[in-house]
Amino acid sequence: MAEPLQAVKGMNDILPPESARWEWLEDTVRALMRRYGYRNIRTPIVEPTPLFVRGLGEVTDIVEKEMYSFIDSMNGDPLTLRPENTAGVVRAAIEHSMLYDGGKRLFYIGPMFRHEKPQRGRYRQFHQVGVEALGFGGPETDAEVILMARALWRDLGLAEVRLEINSLGLLDERKAHRAALIAHFEANAELLDAEAKRRLHRNPLRILDTKNPAMQDLVDAAPQLIGFLGEASLKHFDAVRSALAAVGQPFTVNPRLVRGMDYYTHTVFEWITPRLGAQGTICGGGRYDGLVEMIGGRPAPGVGWGMGLERVLDLLQQSGIDGPASAPDAYAVLPDAAALGPAIAAVEALRAVGLSVVMHAGGAAGLGSMKSQFKKADASGARHALVFGGNELAQGMVAVKPLRDAAAPQVLRPLATLADWAQELRTA
Ligand code: ATP
Ligand code: MG
C-alpha cells in the first residue's frame, strides 16, 4: 500500500457529525445577515500579494510573518492565500464600481490562511464570517455592525461575551500620538525588547500590543491616543457609545485596544469571551475610512468585523450548545430485493415533501439480514425504521417502527395516502 498522506499541519478536515454544527452556525449567520440587510459577496481565495501589503500595512504581524505567499510558476505573479477578507472585498468593490450609487452592506463566509503556530483556537486554515459596510461614514453604522454580532450571540444562545471598544481617531491624530509614543519609548529605550526596538520607528503603535509581561509597565505609562483625538473624532466615538448605551449593551473602553491592521480609523472593537483562554477574541473589527483610497479607489468610508468560526464553535461547545439534531427522520429497511421498487417510490415521495430518509444500501452480495439492517438503521440515528416487508406491501402498506422509544408500538401506514401521515415521521 502507498504511504498514507496527511492534511497540511494546522489545516483541519471538518467531518460529520461536526460539520452539522458548522452548517447550523452558518445558517444562523445567513438568517441574521438577511435581517440586517447585508448581502453575500464571494471573492477569490487567492489575491495579488500587493493587495495585502498595501491594504494591511507592511509592518503588521500578518504581512511580516503570517502570509502564504508564492509566485505563480506559470507567469511569475506574486500571489497570496487571503489571510483576511476586508482587503479582497474592498478590491472587488472598487473593481466593480459597487459604490457608485451609494453604500453597500456586504458579508462573506469562508476560509482564511495564516502561517501561525497551530494551537487551540489558532489554525493555519481557519474560517471567518465577516461584514463590511462600505460607503457609510456615520457612527450609526459602527453601532449597527457591533450590534449585529450581539444579535448573533443571542441567536446562538451564547452568554459570556463582552465588548471592548476604543477609538483610533484620524490619521493626523494618530501621527501626533505616534510622535509622542516614540518619544516615550526612546526615553526608556533600555526597557524595550528586540521586537519593540525593531518596531519603534516603523510601527510604534504595535508595541502597545506586546505580549511581553516585562514591558507592561512601560506600555501602561505610554501616552494614550484618546488624548490626541480632535473634536470630530471624539464626537464620532461619543455617538457610538451613546448608541450602545441606548440598547443597553455594556462595554469597556480599552485605550490599549489597537488591533492588528494599519487600516483602522475611529472605532475599533473586540468581542471577547473568558472561556477560551488566550484565544478569547471571537470577533474583532472597526472602521477603516482610509482603506478604499489605499487600495486605489475613490475615498469612501467603511466599517466591519471578522469573526472566527472555530472559536465560536468552541465556545458553543464549552457552553453546552449543540444546535438542532441532524439525524434522519427515517431509515428504509428492505427485507427482500423485490421490495426495492415500491420502497424507492415511497422514499422518494417522502423526501419530496421534505423528510430526511436514508435508504438501506447493501453490499455486492445483497441487502444483508434484517438484523444487520436494523443495526444500521439504529446507528443512523433515525427516529423511525420504515419496513417494506412483502406481506405489508401486498396490502399496500408499510410498517413504521419507532427506533428511539421502546414503548411506542409499530404501526402500519397505507402507501397510497403517504402525504397524510408523512409529517408524523418528522423528527421533533
Ligand atoms: P489574534 O489576536 O487572536 O491573533 P487577530 O487580531 O489576528 O486575532 P483578526 O485578524 O482580527 O484576528 O481576525 C478576526 C477573528 O478571526 C479573530 O478575532 C479570531 O476569532 C479569528 N482568527 C484570527 N486568526 C485566527 C487563526 N489563526 N485561527 C483561528 N481563528 C483566527
Ligand atoms: Mg493574529
Residue 305 pLDDT more than 90? yes
Residue 408 pLDDT more than 60? yes
Within the chain, which residue ranges are assigned CATH 3.40.50.800?
330-427
Q: How many CB atoms lie within 10 A of CB 383?
A: 20
Q: For residue 116, give the ligand 1 atom closest to its CA.
A: 27
Those residues with Cβ within 8 angstroms of residue 88's Cβ, 6 or more apart along the chain or in another chain: 43, 44, 47, 51, 82
Which DSSP helix (H) or strand (E) runs through 52?
helix 49-56
| Ligand 1 near 128 CB (within 6 A) | yes
Closest Cα to residue 315, out of 95, 84, 25, 16? 25
Write down the residue that cell numbers 525588547 correspond to: 193
pLDDT at residue 414, rounded to an integer: 96
Q: What percent of the chain has pLDDT over 70?
A: 100
CA distances 423 to 25, 80, 335, 349, 405, Å, are 26, 50, 24, 12, 18
Q: What is the mean pLDDT of the chain?
A: 95
Mutual orientation of helices 49-56 and 86-95 as an angle, nearest 10°?
110
| Paired strand residues for 133 | 105, 303
Residue 209 pLDDT more than 90? no
CA distances 246 to 143, 158, 163, 243, Å, are 10, 21, 15, 5
Per-residue exposure over 35-55, b if at least 16 CB sit within 10 Å of its own CB, e if not? eeebeebebeebbebebbbbb
| Ligand 1 near 203 CB (within 6 A) | no
Q: For residue 62, give the ligand 1 atom closest to its CA.
A: 7
| Ligand 1 near 271 CB (within 6 A) | no
pLDDT at residue 262, rounded to an integer: 74
Q: For residue 279, give the ligand 1 atom closest to its CA.
A: 3
Residue 199 pLDDT more than 70? yes
Residue 260 pLDDT more than 80? no
pLDDT at residue 117, rounded to an integer: 97
Distance 119 CA to ligand 2 centre (A): 12
CATH topology of domain 330-427: Rossmann fold (3.40.50)
User: Helical H runs in 291-415?
Assistant: 291-294, 309-318, 340-352, 370-379, 390-394
Which residue's alpha carbon is at the smallest distance from atom 26 of ligand 1? 122
Which residue's alpha carbon is at the smallest distance from atom 16 of ligand 1? 308
| Ligand 1 near 208 CB (within 6 A) | no
| Ligand 1 near 308 CB (within 6 A) | yes
pLDDT at residue 326, rounded to an integer: 83
| Ligand 1 near 282 CB (within 6 A) | yes
Within the chain, which residue ranges are assigned CATH 3.30.930.10?
18-169+229-318
Give the sign of the dihedral formed by CA 177, CA 179, CA 182, CA 183.
negative
| Ligand 1 near 266 CB (within 6 A) | no
pLDDT at residue 341, rounded to an integer: 95
CATH topology of domain 18-169+229-318: BirA Bifunctional Protein; domain 2 (3.30.930)
Mutate to test the pocket of ligand 1, among 115, 311, 316 (most ligand atoms within 8 A of CB): 311
| Residue 23 near residue 227 (C-beta atoms within 8 A) | no
Which residue's alpha carbon is at the smallest distance from atom 11 of ligand 1? 284
| Ligand 1 near 66 CB (within 6 A) | no
Q: Is the pTM of this model over 0.85?
A: yes
For residue 194 the three cell numbers come to 528586540
Please report which confidence band the pLDDT of residue 1 belongs to, taking 50, 70 and 90 as the band edges.
Answer: confident
Distance, in Å, from the CA atom of 84 to the CA atom of 56, rounded to the nearest integer, reads 9
Q: For residue 306, give the ligand 1 atom closest to its CA.
A: 14
| Residue 173 near residue 229 (C-beta atoms within 8 A) | yes
| Ligand 1 near 130 CB (within 6 A) | no
Distance, in Å, from the CA atom of 61 to the CA atom of 293, rounded to the nearest integer, reads 22
Q: For residue 84, give the ligand 1 atom closest to its CA.
A: 10
Residue 428 pLDDT more than 70? no
Residue type, 179: A
Q: For residue 123, give the ligand 1 atom closest to its CA.
A: 28
The side-by-side arrangement of strands in the sheet containing 125-134 is: 39-40, 104-113, 125-134, 302-308, 281-287, 265-272, 162-167, 252-253
Which ligand lies nearest to the CA atom of residue 311 in the structure? 1
Closest Cα to residue 132, out of 95, 99, 167, 83? 99
Residue 11 pLDDT more than 90? yes
Through-space distance between the first and last CA atoms of the chain, rounded to whole angstroms: 46
pLDDT at residue 80, rounded to an integer: 98
Q: Return the DSSP state at 119.
A: B
The larger pLDDT score, comparing residue 349 to residue 258, is at 349
| Ligand 1 near 126 CB (within 6 A) | yes
The number of C-alpha atoms within 13 Å of 220 and in the hemisphere containing its C-beta is 6
| Residue 307 near residue 85 (C-beta atoms within 8 A) | no
Per DSSP bridges, beta strands 39-40 and 104-113 are parallel
Q: What percent of the chain has pLDDT over 90?
A: 87
Distance 62 CA to ligand 2 centre (A): 7
| Ligand 1 near 264 CB (within 6 A) | no
**Average pLDDT of the segment spanning 45-68:** 94
pLDDT at residue 202, rounded to an integer: 87
| Ligand 1 near 279 CB (within 6 A) | yes
